[in-house]
Structure 1
Amino acid sequence: QRQAREVRCCGPLGAAAGEMAEDETNLMRGEQPPALDDPHEGPSRNEDDVEYENPQWCGKAFCDPSTRAHRLIVLVFLCFLAFGSYYCFDNPGALQTQIENTMVITTSQFSSLYSWYSWPNTVLCFLGGFLIDRVFGIRMGAIIFSTIIIVGQVLFALGALVNRFWLMQFGRFIFGVGGESLAVAQNTYSVCWFKDKELNTVFGLQLSISRLGSMANFMTMPFLFTSFSKLYSGTTGLGVTLLVAAFWCLLSMLCAVVLAVLDRRATRILKREAAQTGGVVRLQDVRNFPRTFWMLCFVCVSYYVTLFPFIGLGTVFFQRKFRFGAVEANLVDSTPYLITAFACPVFGILVDLVGRNLLWVTVAVVGTLVSHSLLAFTFINPWVAMVYMGLNYSLLACSFWPLVAMVVPERQLGTAYGMMQSVQNLGLALISMVSGMIVDSSGYFMLEVFFLAWLCCALIACLLLLMVNAKQGGVLNRGRTKKD
């Protein structure tokens, strides 16, 4: 690994002036200048690894990696590390009508753009942590994966520019390779910097900023398409719009570079080990997972396939059924993301205080079932249903994922989470394709019935889990006062 000399924050001239003044004072006192390897004065300045000293312009609070102020600086770049990925993930959803009309494709073909994102992650959920731990390292890994999402987004845009839909699909596949792995790198950085400190808050803030990226996509992409369509005709306007979105991926790469520099510096100063994902994936552990884990996997798939595929196809649904304009349809479609950005930290505190995780999961499934029922069978203002859906999604996100750690030993958590995410992505890939076929053949009402059927399956699985859990000691539904 290349060893580059670190430049002191105060600059070479300030550092030299300080050293000369100190040496002059010592000589006037009759003292000898300190040895270069004196532990109180720092290591030799001829060495590549230069230790931390208090910079004159920012002070110790901001430049010492062990302080909260410095971690706050890291947190800013950490939160925006995946912003570009989340912004570009739902580019198709924000431009569904425009893509279908410009590229002359069916809804089934359009939904494949989401499927192609999920296919590589049926495997990469297992390999992402391994690549970071054993091959690239966290710093280079984050830079590589952020570069991959740029390449994927650019290929996606080029497919539109040259009117080749297969190239757009290939770009989404490449984008998926980098997107989920970048999330693994983000989580690894978070644990490395904030473990035993502000970790829960950090995860909540990361999710909030990421979902704001999704919301920003739905708010800005139609406007960009309209603007560029006045300058460029046909598929060129669509391609330029998608190419502009790639600049947000450049922001992610910039954050990855800055985090690599800060983490490398902190590793030298604090003498800590390189960050690792922690969970080691062992496929042989799968056969030892309890049946409650597999029931949780079923709940995960049957719930999430009613959320993300619906949002991906929802813009046209709101335009057709509720006669919304393109801008308002995008806004109401992205409402769950906006609600999640603010509600997740609140619900996280609630679940931490009360416990009863499995009960909250069941409540969230029932609430989402009500939301889809309102959208399918009534003409009540869809803002009501979508806000309620966002609240229930936030509640489930906070209460569901900790359940895995309650049924699987700690040494097997890496495999457990990898398996669950793999199954989730497999379900999303398949259901996204099926959803497009249903819309093409039967319309959006049957799509809602399809989602309601999946939510009923999720509810039945939750009820069965409650009964099985009660017989096994109730570990999944303990109140806070009973937890260790």
Structure 2
Amino acid sequence: MTDIEERQSLLGNVNGESEAEEPGKQMSAISDPTRLLHRIVVLIFMCFLGFGSYFCYDNPAALQTDVVQDMNLNTSQFMQLYAWYSWPNVILCFLGGFLLDRVFGIRLGTIIFSLFVCVGQVIFAAGALLNRFWLMEVGRFVFGIGGESLSVAQNTYAVNWFKGKELNLVFGLQLSMARLGSTVNMNIMGWVYSRVADLIGSKGPSTLGTALMIASVTCFFSLVCALVLGYLDRRAERILKKEQGKTGEVIKLTDVKDFPLSLWLIFIICVGYYVAIFPFIGLGQVFFIEKFNFSPAEARAINSVVYIISAPASPFLGFLVDKTGRNVIWVMCAVVTTLAAHMMLAFTFWNPWIAMSLLGVSYSLLACALWPMVAFVVPDHQLGTAYGFMQSIQNLGLALISMAAGAILDNRGYLFLEVFFCACICISLIAVVVLYLVDFLQAGEMNLSAAARARLYEETRLQEEARLQKEAPSDSE
């Protein structure tokens, strides 16, 4: 690590001295970065890193009826709270990934993004307290600056610590904790709002703002996790004597034009899929009330089923993908199942628990299989930028679709909205099929079995060791 990077680190030793510890020597299993127990500790903080962001992201959905009534909004205005979250990330996710790779480094960048999440949520709550909807929009904008970039940092941390046979499982665990945050939000924020209303004696902007301010505590908890994770990552880097960017290659903004076709197809799958998930959940509460005559409490419960199922299913499905490989096939299964679920919601009156349960399983499966594929097609020094660009495009889609969904709902109703979501999923399905063909023709790594991928990694490791041994004499000179 360079002297400049050393000075930039917030988490280094005060006197700048390196640690004398060596992995495996006079160190307990929990303090040795090479041991599984230590990596499990790191994974715990890594998972909680995004808990606050995901908990607060869907605060509007959990309180949809209350937000609309207390702030006197229509559906289009309500969906602006999601659009304003997504707009900054059209650019900033990409820049956030670039800053992680080139400027801040993973540790400092993660702390900065966590601070934005905390400040944004406080501004959002203050806007409600002051009965200023424009201030709530500003809060969601600031919250968005940190929220998606923090996800980029979380993904980059996961690859740095767990690239190999554990990566799909780790992505599943991270998704599980994120969805746990969303699930708790969906099921507890209505209760929090009611308790605050009882204490104040009436409902209104002050009640809404107080409830949202209470929710901000989760964001500060995640900031603490970012600080601890940064310390552990810094310590491991010193003990293992490894530097960020092992190859010495540096990411450049112009590298984006050289991203492979398979990565662009992953981007299309991501956008086409997620725009049919998050905007739907954002509007789902009223949908279940109007179409299926559910009570508000029942509507909140079923609207959170996707997250409830995702929390326990994601680690299991990530483990399954790790053991079998074939990521592209799993992604295809997830997209087809999601399309079936949306068609059930659109064209039948079957019990919606069936469709929402399918949606929960398929959503979990796609995240476990899709996001790790980025690490299969770009080098390590470009990971932050690649993940950032992926989330930038995703947020552009979410911002546009959130606005379109609100307008469609106000003008044409839920049936047209569901048909629109089905069309988005069909675009994602076409991209999956093309990705399968491209990977097959290029003999790529994305759809290899777990055993074949393990052999490939072993061959790569041996080749790297041979290269280092060959270069060792010249280095000593």
Q: Give the ranges of 4+ consecutive aligned residues of structure 1 lying more than 6 Å apart after TM superposition.
A: 2-7, 275-279
Matched, 1:450 2:420: yes
| Conserved 8 A contact 1:148-1:177 | yes
Matched, 1:391 2:361: yes
| One-letter identity of the residue aligned with 1:82 | G
Matched, 1:217 2:185: yes
Q: How does 1:291-302 map to 2 (within 5 A)?
A: 291-302=261-272
Residue of structure 2 equivalent to 1:357: 327
Q: Which moved more, 1:419-428 or 1:68-77?
A: 68-77
Matched, 1:343 2:304: no
Q: How does 1:80-159 map to 2 (within 5 A)?
A: 80-159=48-127
Q: Give, in whole Å, the separation in 2 of the partners of 1:351 and 1:5.
A: 37
Change (3 A) 1:472 1:258: closer
Change (3 A) 1:480 1:114: same
Shift of 1:296: 3.4
Matched, 1:426 2:426: no
| Conserved 8 A contact 1:129-1:277 | no
Cα deviation 1:228-253 (Å, max 9, x = unaligned): 12233311000000000000111011
Q: Which entry has the higher C-alpha Rg, 1 or 2?
A: 1
Q: Give, in whole Å, the separation in 1 of the partners of 2:175 and 2:248.
A: 21
Shift of 1:329: 1.3
* SS of residue paired to 2:349: coil
| Conserved 8 A contact 2:245-2:380 | no
Matched, 1:255 2:230: no
| One-letter identity of the residue aligned with 1:460 | I
Q: Give, in whole Å, the separation in 2 of the partners of 1:474 and 1:262.
A: 34
Shift of 1:455: 1.8
The match for 2:255 among 249, 264, 285 is: 285
| One-letter identity of the residue aligned with 1:255 | C
Shift of 1:330: 1.5
Cα deviation 1:25-80 (Å, max 9, x = unaligned): xxxxxxxxxxxxxxxxxxxxxx66484689xxx98343444444333333322221
Shift of 1:426: 0.6
Q: Which moved more, 1:228-237 or 1:349-358?
A: 349-358
Change (3 A) 1:280 1:338: farther
| Conserved 8 A contact 2:172-2:364 | no
The match for 1:179 among 147, 171, 181 is: 147
Residue of structure 2 equivalent to 1:333: 303
Q: Which moved more, 1:279-288 or 1:308-317?
A: 279-288
| Conserved 8 A contact 1:279-1:412 | no
| Conserved 8 A contact 1:87-1:248 | yes
| Conserved 8 A contact 1:52-1:64 | no
Shift of 1:281: 4.6
Q: Which moved more, 1:103-112 or 1:317-326?
A: 317-326
* SS of residue paired to 2:276: coil
* SS of residue paired to 1:306: coil
The match for 1:239 among 186, 201, 209 is: 209
Q: Give, in whole Å, the separation in 2 of the partners of 1:76 and 1:316.
A: 35
Gaps of 5+ in 2: 1-6, 457-477
Identity, % of aligned pairs?
A: 56
Shift of 1:474: 7.4
Residue of structure 2 equivalent to 1:461: 431
Larger RCO (CA within 8 A; separation ≥ 6): 2
Shift of 1:415: 4.6
Cα deviation 1:93-123 (Å, max 9, x = unaligned): 1111110111011111111111111111111
Residue of structure 2 equivalent to 1:376: 346
Cα deviation 1:200-240 (Å, max 9, x = unaligned): 44333222111101111001101111111223331100000
TM-score, normalized by length of structure 2?
A: 0.82
| Conserved 8 A contact 1:49-1:268 | no
Shift of 1:312: 1.1
Change (3 A) 1:218 1:193: same
* SS of residue paired to 2:199: coil
Shift of 1:269: 4.4
Shift of 1:344: 2.2
Residue of structure 2 equivalent to 1:305: 275
Change (3 A) 1:372 1:277: farther
Shift of 1:442: 1.6
Shift of 1:258: 2.4
| One-letter identity of the residue aligned with 1:326 | P
Cα deviation 1:425-451 (Å, max 9, x = unaligned): 111110011001111112222211111
Change (3 A) 1:179 1:135: same
| Conserved 8 A contact 2:127-2:134 | yes
Q: Give, in whole Å, the separation in 2 of the partners of 1:224 and 1:363.
A: 38
| One-letter identity of the residue aligned with 1:316 | V
Q: Which moved more, 1:414-423 or 1:100-109?
A: 414-423
Residue of structure 2 equivalent to 1:16: none
Q: Give, in whole Å, the separation in 1 of the partners of 2:214 and 2:342.
A: 34
Shift of 1:339: 1.8
TM-score, normalized by length of structure 1?
A: 0.81
| Conserved 8 A contact 2:317-2:364 | yes
* SS of residue paired to 1:116: helix
Q: Give, in whole Å, the separation in 2 of the partners of 1:388 and 1:155.
A: 36
Q: What is the root-mean-square deviation in Å for CA atoms of aligned residues? A: 3.2
* SS of residue paired to 1:231: helix
Q: Give, in whole Å, the separation in 2 of the partners of 1:280 and 1:337.
A: 38
| Conserved 8 A contact 1:280-1:414 | no
Change (3 A) 1:272 1:455: closer
Cα deviation 1:316-350 (Å, max 9, x = unaligned): 11111112222221221121122222222222233
Change (3 A) 1:290 1:274: closer
| One-letter identity of the residue aligned with 2:187 | M
Q: Give, in whole Å, the separation in 2 of the partners of 1:394 and 1:87.
A: 17
Matched, 1:76 2:14: no
* SS of residue paired to 2:216: helix
Shift of 1:148: 1.2
Q: Give, in whole Å, the separation in 1 of the partners of 2:443 and 2:34.
A: 42
| Conserved 8 A contact 2:343-2:422 | yes
Gaps of 5+ in 1: 8-46
| Conserved 8 A contact 2:86-2:395 | yes
